[in-house]
Amino acid sequence: MVKALVITGYGINCEEEMAAAYRLASAQAEIVHLNDIFQERISIHDYDILNFPGGFSFGDDLGSGKVLANKMLYRNKLSGKTFLRDIREFLAAGKFLMGVCNGFQFLVKMGLLPDVNGSQQQEVTLTRNNSGRFEDRWCHLQVNSESNTPFLKGIKQLYLPVRHGEGKLIIPGKIQQRVVENRLNCLSYCTAGGEPTSRYPENPNGSHLNCAALCNDSGQILGLMPHPEAFLSLYNHPNWCRLRREDSAISEAGEGLQIFRNIVEHVAGNRV
């Protein structure tokens, strides 16, 4: 069975929903406090997919995800290795990593996304929304058809909620060109008709390239601001009653669940 590890602790608060998503996708999911990894009671190498859920790590006091990223970069585990070294070995083994919202902020500030130069140095950042306030709304999203990440395989559009105060992705010019060329801007805020847009509130934060998610060159790492784990059932949808009346045969699965099904099926299908 495919095994997913879901990290919690230090203000992360969406771990139960993410674990539920993997279980609904027929994977085994375990929620583990980050300290258990640093104390080496748990090894990430025993799992297939590593996940950093949303939340408010360390209260976002020094910028969303920054303190958590520094802990991964500089704190040693009992063996003397950093968590970053563990993650590098995990990815080198062909495994997968996903970060949602605060988890995306962590991946960016740790240098794991987009990593166009292969140096794992921070190249982009996520900062305060253009609106100047916390945004809690549902958004239409367009998948980049040329993206190579298995997380989004076969998906064209999504409708997912965002819940963030610092979701504006800033991408410097040269990095932006590489992101576009390498098709790493894998998910865009769009209109209901599927046209990427910078217009508020369809684009809730003002991200460069209207970008709602990034992947790395290999497609093994996905970071996204919207919350797929918050739309696992039709009944999570704000207008589910109307949808059921309009189509009595509509699937009871939420659109976000497909992301988890995709990666679980990909891992299971590529095992020897």
Q: What is the spatial distance between Cα 97 and Cα 238, in angstroms, rounded to a whole number?
A: 29
Burial class (CB in 10 A: 0-12, 13-18, 19+), 74: exposed
Three-class SS of residue 234? helix
Q: Quick count: other Cβ atoms within 10 Å of Cβ 131? A: 14
Quote the tokens at residue 23: 């279980």
Q: Of these residues, 140, 164, 227, 237, which one is catalytic?
A: 227
What string of DSSP letters covers 24-44? HTT-EEEEEEHHHHHTTSS-G
Q: Of these residues, 164, 229, 237, 266, which one is catalytic?
A: 229
Among 130, 131, 112, CA closest to 122: 112
Active site residue 229: yes
Active site residue 139: no
Which stretch of DSSP H or E encloses residue 214?
strand 211-215
Active site residue 45: no
Q: Is the peptide bond before 204 cis (omega within 30 degrees of 0)?
A: no
Q: What is the spatial distance between Cα 52 and Cα 261, in angstroms, rounded to a whole number?
A: 17
Q: Of these residues, 14, 101, 186, 211, which one is catalytic?
A: 101
Burial class (CB in 10 A: 0-12, 13-18, 19+), 183: middle
Q: What is the spatial distance between Cα 110 and Cα 213, in angstroms, rounded to a whole number?
A: 16
Q: What is the spatial distance between Cα 43 and Cα 81, in angstroms, rounded to a whole number?
A: 12
> Which are the catalytic amino acids?
101, 227, 229
